[in-house]
């Protein structure tokens, strides 16, 4: 049985959710971004306890099928942008293949539920990754652009300025933390 959980966006989230299940005496078969697989259905009491424990950590159990699909879309995007080393792929293809649905259907649902397009969400996630990489000061802007799949530094810089109001250089020179948690995008 799959249990959909909103706001799982990183490996630490997976660890936190795993600990909640362990504290309840439930051994999941699999825990990944946005989803936990258990061997048997939860009792009503387990479901209520799980909801309470997850709420305390900022997670939400999802019962709505459409919202679950939106969360899967987000999880796939977050995984590809923040955890994979190479972002040279087309999100339409990745999402269609992973979810076995037409992109137009996914796009329409995502926009209705989130109020932004999938493309805008991808841009927001990429910009947060750019901020992260800039703050580490380990890669050049050219290396960051390549790693995140941008065709040029100019395109990355234009998108960064449009999204943040700052150029990457201004952001770097300010030295302040303007990053947002990825589950708040």
Which pLDDT tens digit goes with each residue over 150-176? 999 999 999 999 999 999 999 888 866
Element (H, E) at 31: strand 30-32
Is the pLDDT reported for residue 52 higher than 90? yes
Angle of helix 11-23 relative to helix 44-56, nearest 10 degrees, comes to 140
Tell me how far apart the terminal alpha carbons of the chain are, to the nearest angstrom: 29
Average pLDDT in the chain:
89
How far is Cα 155 from Cα 130, in angstroms, rounded to an integer?
Answer: 13
Report CA torsion sign: 80, 81, 82, 88.
Answer: positive
Phi, psi of 74 (to 5 degrees): -60, -45
pLDDT of residue 85: 62
pLDDT of residue 183: 60
Query: Is residue 98 exposed (0-12), middle (13-18) or buried (19+ Cβ within 10 Å)?
Result: middle
Closest-CA residue to 86 (of 127, 128, 137, 143): 143
């Amino acid at each position: 049985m799959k249990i959909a959980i909103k706001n799982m966006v990183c490996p630490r989230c997976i660890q936190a959710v795993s600990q909640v299940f362990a504290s309840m005496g439930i051994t999941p078969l699999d825990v990944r971004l946005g989803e936990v697989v258990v061997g048997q259905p939860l009792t009503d009491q387990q479901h209520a306890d799980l909801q309470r424990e997850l709420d305390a950590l900022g997670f939400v159990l999802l019962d709505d099928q459409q919202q679950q699909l939106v969360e899967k879309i987000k999880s796939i995007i977050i995984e590809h942008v923040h955890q994979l080393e190479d972002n040279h792929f087309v999100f339409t293809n990745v999402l269609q293949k992973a979810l076995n649905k037409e992109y137009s259907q996914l796009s329409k649902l995502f926009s209705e539920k989130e109020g932004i397009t999938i493309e805008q969400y991808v841009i927001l996630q990429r910009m947060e990754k750019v901020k992260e990489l800039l703050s580490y000061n380990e890669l050049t802007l050219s290396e960051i652009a390549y790693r995140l799949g941008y065709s040029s530094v100019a395109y990355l810089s234009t998108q960064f300025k449009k999204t943040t109001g700052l150029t990457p250089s201004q952001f770097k020179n300010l030295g302040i933390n303007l990053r947002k948690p990825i589950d708040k995008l």
